[in-house]
A and B are shown apart, each in its own frame.
Chain A
């Protein structure tokens, strides 16, 4: 801690005036360019309060992650400086910023999988070993003590690869704190956590704040910001649209409006509010009534006994378009949105099933539950949500329905046809569609071009190619044209249809997946975490697409860890626990009832 002001000292009774003057963390005129793209555009921010949790919010691509990385010195800036404890450093000097006491906890974990926890921590703190050699027992004791000190329950002897996401995060935070840092930058810490672990993380952060640690936290969901942050700053399009502001001085609607970067004409839509986890009940589009009771229920504070009816919060179609950049304008998307209300089919009126899973069992593997006589049905036009703590059989359910995993007993019917162990292509011809959670490796081929990705399923299963495939011969010209039509239809932002898939961002990539998987012949769409990591615009698009698909006759099996998403889309929610379907819930949904069923297996019956 060479020459810098220790944070704790200020807490220990220095004049208040000095506190206000000195910046704990900040940046001036930061500019970051990646080729022609300007990620940060003259960003100047200043946080003055020590021992607080400062949030930075914004849409995907707003520059939040870049800001974190620049502040921590991991990314070079074109210009600008970073200030730590009132001292300025040229942006991008990782060593000096670290020495000044700033540590970054990455969004993706930086821990070698085949290390033990003690070894991984030792790797980052080599000075703890004398003469370059260490004793296994000693480092295990050392790190057991440290982990305990910071309030984490992780065994130093366990393998990193066996840790749950929250345990990995705990190890990462321990690593960051062990270097003596008093300022920790967390890049989307909640994105990698299952919902039930988020409250635990927030508790830890609050405890650490009591010890004088300052956190800068990037977050997606307003519900979480409201639950934990002391101040909030908003980025949009690489610019600061809100300087750090006390949470008490600003309402959620105002923040939401700033995030969406809506000019005076627009208003924040209800879908946006829900996507951000506000739990809004909507009577009148454009008028967002924010109900924070949901937050309280989640975080076990005083008013937890108020059940929150969220099922009614399906946004009005008229509130959907035009406010999100890239969503408004021509044709197809408006059709999608329009279809939501005008042609919605009452699920109960149809007699046909899109999916019947009858008492299916699969073997368990590596800490993941297989299915234990799991049964679920999805009617035509119905959306059935699968809720559950991760690892309770959701993966096995998706894999067996899609055809990636053989099952031992039971029956699966797609559109009332027994699929047995039919190949995937055969299932697709019956009408199966799949939006995988793992976009990078399961949903698309990153090295292939856009049109190939958009048309791959149609070609391999032989539907919807309209003349491009004839007797086994492909017309590449027609496929390209058809592929490009789809990309346009779904408003994928691209420069060329021959562009490699890896060049697209998350939301854009998901549009390509939708372009391939959502079509008129779809009988059952298995949507697995379809909006994870997407911004509001992307989330709205996916939701609208799924709603329209349901209204035009497809069944939707929605597996999601985002409760707001489940509440907003599902006609019914099935709770999975230990590979069994233990509970079925109907709207209006109660967050608490669902939470109890997910975690403890407590059912209402």
Chain B
């Protein structure tokens, strides 16, 4: 029984950062901008939240700082991509570089270490803790895990049931129509990117102050790319992204499970590949099964559930 609890625990731990980042990134994609810099943003968010938690003694202050920094970086990204017309993929990769290099540099300058930076202040859990059993696991999960369903519902409301959501979608699908409807396309894109930045910051914070209570070099290790993929796999529809994030969360947990239990005596490194192999398979499946990209295209989860 304990193993099942542990597995569910690692599914939730694996899913949370992916889902927060992916739900935010959904807005950027729907507005027509591929935010590949998500990986960098999450890393910056993870670092800023630890830094803020250490500086102000509160995890919430850390998260607030992370959001502020990531929104600022997203605005910069918007300037480069939308106003200066740089290629979004290249600029995104640049943002990842800034994230990896910048956090590593600041880690050395501020904390004088290239090892882990540990913070005492953590995000509390809403469930009171006990020593053993499922309650212990629930108590070990941060509030950010419990907020996930609420975030999903809010994202769905904004993306699929609000005037702003319509404007974002029109901007991404057919800027000519958006323009004709009096929508300021560039402003909508800025807002969408900032939402993506803020939610990537929360996803990154969950990794550092949320679950590990520490920051280490390149600690996202591809989670941002996985979240980016989850948006594509979920066909830019809120519930599609939720399902895709869960799929990747389960894959991550399977990887961890395999590491611990040495399934079939397979090498450890092989099992660690699981999340990434699943990502590739998911992309292939999405491209093969639903060739028409773009939000709300045929066969997307959004159309299936509506």
Contact = CB atoms under 8 A, between A and B. Distances in A.
Decide whether A and B are members of one complex.
Answer: yes
B163 A129 contact: yes
B167 A123 contact: yes
B185 to A, nearest CB: 12
A111 B169 CA distance: 12
| Most central of A110, A120, A136 by chain B CB within 10 Å | A110
B170 A112 contact: yes
A113 interface: yes
Interface of A: 106, 110-115, 119-120, 122-124, 126, 129, 132-136
Contacts, number: 58
B162 A123 contact: no
A124 B174 CA distance: 13
Contacts of B9: none
Given A133-B157, A134-B161, A135-B161, A110 B176 contact: yes
A110 B176 CA distance: 6
- Chain B, interface residues (CB within 8 Å), range: 20 to 34
Contacts of A111: 174, 177
Given A106-B180, A112-B177, A123 B170 contact: yes
Q: What's the dominant secondary structure at chain A's contact region?
A: loop
B163 A124 contact: no
B162 A134 contact: yes
A59 B296 CA distance: 41
B176 to A, nearest CB: 6
A15 to B, nearest CB: 38
B163 A114 contact: no
Contact of A122 (B163, B183, B294): B163
Contact of B169 (A115, A126, A129, A135): A115
B295 interface: yes
16 contacts: A110-B180, A110-B181, A111-B177, A112-B169, A112-B173, A114-B294, A115-B169, A115-B170, A119-B166, A119-B169, A123-B166, A123-B167, A132-B162, A134-B161, A134-B162, A135-B161
A134 B173 contact: no
Contacts of A119: 166, 169
Interface string B58-89: 00000000000000000000000000000000
A45 to B, nearest CB: 24
A123 B161 contact: no
Contact of A114 (B161, B181, B297): B297
B161 A124 contact: no
A423 B162 CA distance: 51
Contacts of A106: 180
B296 A114 contact: yes
B164 interface: yes
Contact of A112 (B157, B161, B174): B174
Closest 5 pairs between A and B when the two form their complex, measured CB to CB: A110-B180, A112-B174, A112-B173, A126-B163, A110-B177
A126 B169 CA distance: 14
A106 B173 CA distance: 18
Interface in B234-280: none
Interface in B180-212: 180-181, 183
B176 A134 contact: no
Contacts of B176: 110
B173 A115 contact: yes
B259 to A, nearest CB: 42
A111 B173 CA distance: 10
Given A112-B173, A114-B296, A115-B169, A132 B180 contact: no
Contacts of B177: 110-112, 120, 123
Q: What's the dominant secondary structure at chain B's contact region?
A: helix
A106 B181 CA distance: 12
A292 to B, nearest CB: 37
A129 B280 CA distance: 41
Contacts of B170: 112, 115, 123
B180 A114 contact: no
B294 A133 contact: no
| Most central of A110, A111, A123, A126 by chain B CB within 10 Å | A123
A39 B162 CA distance: 41
Interface string B128-171: 00000000000000000000000000000100011110110110
B49 to A, nearest CB: 30
Contact of B163 (A110, A132, A136): A132
B166 A122 contact: yes
Contacts of A136: 161
Contacts of A134: 161-163
Nearest to B292: A114
Contact of B181 (A113, A124, A132, A135): A124
Contacts of B162: 129, 132-134
B244 to A, nearest CB: 19
Contacts of A124: 180-181
A132 B180 CA distance: 19
A135 B121 CA distance: 42
B161 A133 contact: yes
Nearest to B180: A110
Nearest to B303: A159
B159 to A, nearest CB: 12
A123 B169 CA distance: 10
Contacts of B173: 112-115
Nearest to B157: A133
Given A110-B181, A120-B177, 4 more contacts: A115-B169, A119-B166, A123-B177, A133-B161
Contact of A123 (B157, B181, B295, B297): B181
Nearest to A111: B177
A135 B163 CA distance: 11
A113 B173 CA distance: 7
B14 to A, nearest CB: 31
A421 B183 CA distance: 49
| Most central of B167, B177, B183 by chain A CB within 10 Å | B177
A53 to B, nearest CB: 23
Contacts of A115: 166, 169-170, 173, 296
Contacts of B166: 115, 119, 122-123, 126
A106 B157 CA distance: 31
Contact of B174 (A113, A132, A135): A113
A117 to B, nearest CB: 13
A119 B160 CA distance: 10
A593 B295 CA distance: 45
A204 B173 CA distance: 30
Contacts of B183: 123
